[in-house]
Amino acid sequence: MPHLRPYVSAVVRPIPITTREERVEELDRAGHNPFNLPADKVSIDLLSDSGTGAVSVDQQAWAQRGDERYAGAESFFRYREALREVVPYEHLLPVHQGRAAERVLFSALLGEGRISLSNTHFDTTRANVERLGAEARDLPSPELFDLDGEHPFKGDIDVSALRQVLDGPDGERVGQILMTITNNGGGGQPVSMANLKEVSALARERGVPLILDAARFAENAWLVIRREPGYQDKTPLEVAREAFELADGAVASLKKDGLSPEGAFIGLNDAELADRCEVDIIATEGFRTYGGLTGSTLEQLAQGLREVVTPAYLADREHEAAYLADRAHQAGVDTVRPAGLHGVYLNAGRLLPHLPPARFPGHALACALYREGGIRCAELGSLYLGTLDDNAELTSPAPFELVRLALPRRVYDHSHLEYVGEILAEIAKNPESVPGYRITENPPILRHFRCRTAPL
């Protein structure tokens, strides 16, 4: 049966068509950091899949029903009902975005000297652990390091490494186990239910809270259905619920699988912990029945949460990511295998072997994609993860030099993705012409968002 996209455009946004000259100028002005580019100079924006999706006509219709009363608004109850269909926790607290959920929950679970163990902490998640004086330790499965391997669940945590830490001298200091589904920092790779079950049993045995960072809970469920024996006849809703049931709680940005420009939640069964989070949320986000979100957003989220678990939508998402990965391969650019759903991760280190990690090949490719085609994306390599000295020279590189082409939900069609493939092919024809970079301004934290760089 050929693939049929299960929606059409109902409202469109024109995109700018820029010249190479303009883009060179914009890059200079932006200190060669894609995060500094004004969006109206970007033609294809693959910087993030967060809050960047298209809403449906039903979401728009529901948004009109937004009840903006301060406490106990109808919109909150509709949001909570929809959320509870997927997330079966007793306490569901709305907040405005994922990192707010992290800040609030981690403040209650961690503190100076504590340790958070994860398959991989996402960048802001790591920042929210570290700002408490705690340590964010990643224990990814060894398969993650084989970029070309076809292992279906490279997002798993390394259970034997986890057990070793829990049983070792640091065991007493572990405040949480955080499973990121799907593993965004780890190439968008999914986590298997088998892995979650093992971690859940271990966490319960040792009395350590298991928390899901469930920003892409529906996408993880879909990849479980597609790849894990025993799950092919289940629905995405059933699989997602099962994942939440294995954990003690969750933080989740709903800017991804809530199909909304904003929103997140903290979900918990522990009443005392939920109570402490609620006090923090009332003081810093908003009253417990809106958490900083408008009634319109709560309505949009309720509808989005129902749309995101439909098999037709998720199958389309898989099809699009695979299509983009194929375009990259045809262009001669390798990607992290197998393709996930929310983005395609390019192997920039392999494409640009003339650039050592200290000249930031991932960043160089991201800048080249903008310069040659007005395409914006972000590096996931030594600029983001490397260690630098006081002169902003690299002292310890990241394990890989990748570039993430994130796919906003329901936004780009095949012609856009084909264009990305054509620009990649142009770059790949003459890779030695792509210049390396040095850092000219190096902020001490969250470097990749805030640094300025210059081509060499």
Active site residues: 70, 122-123, 213, 215, 256, 448
Rounded to the nearest whole angstrom, what is the least distance from the CB of residue 392 to ligand F0G in the complex? 24
**C-beta of residue 362 within 8 angstroms of C-beta of residue 339:** no
Counting residues that bind ligand F0G (by CB under 6 A) gives 16
Query: 173-212: which residues touch ligand F0G (CB under 6 A)?
Result: 180, 184
Provide the minimum distance between the beta carbon of 169 and ligand F0G in the complex, in angstroms, as a whole number. 29
Give yes or no for residue 48 binding ligand F0G (CB under 6 A).
Answer: yes
Task: Please check whether residue 15 is in contact with residue 374, taking contact to mean a CB–CB distance below 8 angstroms.
Answer: no
User: Does 255 participate in binding ligand F0G (rule CB under 6 A)?
Assistant: yes
Token duo for residue 160: 């034997």
Tell the smallest beta-carbon distance from residue 184 to ligand F0G (Å): 4
Alpha-carbon distance of 41 to 44, in angstroms, equals 10
Shortest separation between residue 100's beta carbon and ligand F0G, angstroms? 7
Q: Which residues contact 110 (CB under 8 A, 6 or more apart)?
A: 116, 129, 132, 134, 175, 176
Stretch that binds ligand F0G, among 121-129, 267-275, 321-329, 384-392 (CB under 6 A): 121-129
Number of neighbours of residue 127 by Cβ within 10 angstroms: 16
Residue selected from 213, 219, 379, 401 as contacting ligand F0G according to rule CB under 6 A: 213
264 forms part of the interface with ligand F0G (CB under 6 A): yes
Q: Are 147 and 400 in contact (CB under 8 A)?
A: yes
Tokens for 455? 């081509």
Among 36, 124, 269, 330, binds ligand F0G (CB under 6 A): 124
SS3 222: helix
Identity of the residue numbered 355: L
Rounded distance between C-alpha atoms, residue 370 and residue 26, angstroms? 10
Is 253 a binding residue for ligand F0G by CB under 6 A? The answer is yes
Segment 74 to 103, residues that bind ligand F0G, using CB under 6 A:
97-99
Q: Phi then psi for 44, rounded to 5 degrees?
A: -120, 115
What residues numbered 405-424 form the site for ligand F0G, per CB under 6 A? 406
In whole angstroms, what is the distance from residue 448 CA to residue 129 CA?
Answer: 18
Q: Verify binding: residue 122, ligand F0G, rule CB under 6 A.
A: yes
Q: Is residue 448 part of the contact set for ligand F0G (CB under 6 A)?
A: no
Q: How many other C-beta atoms are found inside a 10 Å radius of the C-beta of residue 193?
A: 21
Q: Does 384 bind ligand F0G (CB under 6 A)?
A: no
Q: What's the closest the beta carbon of residue 168 comes to ligand F0G, in angstroms?
A: 27
**CA nearest to 40, candidates 4, 64, 14, 71:** 14
Structure tokens at 89: 């926790």
For residue 320, state whether it binds ligand F0G (rule: CB under 6 A).
no
Spatial separation of the C-alpha atoms in residues 268 and 322, rounded to whole Å: 35
Q: Which is nearer to ligand F0G, 82 or 254 (CB)?
A: 254
Least CB distance from residue 220 to ligand F0G, whole Å? Answer: 11
Q: By the criterion CB under 6 A, which residues form the site for ligand F0G?
A: 48, 50, 97-99, 122, 124-125, 180, 184, 213, 215, 253, 255, 264, 406
